[in-house]
Amino acid sequence: MAVTLVLTDFNVDVSMQTLGTFETISPAIGDYHVDTVNLPIKITEWASCFKITADSLDVNNVDASDIQYYVYNASNVAGLTSTHYSNASGAGGAQLVDGNPAMRAVVDATGNLADFQQFPIVAGSPTPQLECDFIRHIAKTLFNTANGVDLFNNEVQLRASVEAACGTGAGQLIDQISAKLTASASASPMLSGAASSLNFTYTLLAQLFALAPERFATYDNLSASVPTELKWVAGDVISYVLTLNAADGQEDLVTSEAVAPRKYKINMVLTV
């Protein structure tokens, strides 16, 4: 009959020499002129668009067998269009969806502003909204004074034009974001090394690892089959730069000096 023996002199304690690591990203946002445009986004709507799966079936460095990244589209485009909207006309004109800088303006059938709200960017100004700031920027270039805004006879239309440029429609910002999001929840996952410019989930996860790795200390719901949301908390900010350009030929009104682009840093603040 076989027996089991013990030789305690063979007991040994060894330590690994390699730390487990993860990939991190710390990108620079680039230059901008204005840094006070804050856009609240519901954290549940944002989180639902960016998910991952992972398993422990194999232990290697091959992306295809480790983390898989999912980017889902939604009718509200990650929460950007769900609560921020406007109408070009009180009589039922085209809808202007302003997910990116969160304007809300309703222009009535006579061209007057029936309702106007937006998160302020110029503290202390009687009209601190983004489009008002940009129109003052145009006036400053043309007339050497922001007070020249009142020389325009179509101020409301100029404001609506800024909204339209920031709204939906082919080539506009929300449309571009939506086009980059995967078309449906059944779409194939992405890998970190493939189409990284479109892999928002990979980019966001790598930045969370760089900025808040402690959040992943309790990631026990991470699944191999069910995509899991990233670790977001209320107050997180996702930023990008919005560049506004005046209409072609604007400078021909009074001067030959071109109206320079004006860049706004948009801070999307996650809220409950």
pLDDT tens digits, 30-47: 898 887 777 778 898 889
- For residues 92 and 89, give the distance between their C-alpha atoms in angstroms, rounded to a whole number: 6
pLDDT of residue 117: 42
- For residues 119 and 102, give the distance between their C-alpha atoms in angstroms, rounded to a whole number: 7
Instruction: Assess whether pLDDT exceeds 80 at residue 232.
Output: yes
pLDDT of residue 230: 92
User: Considering only CA atoms, which of 108, 162, 115 is closest in space to residue 135?
Assistant: 162
**Tokens 């089991």 appear where?**
4
pLDDT of residue 11: 78
9 phi, psi to nearest 5 deg: -65, -20
Instruction: Report pLDDT digits (tens) over 194-228.
Output: 555 567 888 898 899 888 989 988 888 888 888 88
User: Considering only CA atoms, which of 181, 185, 204, 191 is closest in space to residue 67?
Assistant: 191
| CB contact at 8 A, 53 and 228 | yes
How crowded is the C-beta side of 216, counted as CA atoms within 13 Å?
A: 15
Extract the tokens encoding 168. Answer: 């939906």
Instruction: Assess whether pLDDT exceeds 70 at residue 136.
Output: yes
Contacts of 97 (CB under 8 A, 6+ apart): 81, 84, 85, 86, 167, 168, 174
Report the chain's mean pLDDT, rounded to a whole number: 73
Q: What is the DSSP letter of 72?
A: B
pLDDT of residue 235: 93
- For a pLDDT cut of 90, what percent of the chain falls above it? 4
Extract the tokens encoding 58. Answer: 């194999």
| CB contact at 8 A, 177 and 157 | no
H or E stretch at 66: none
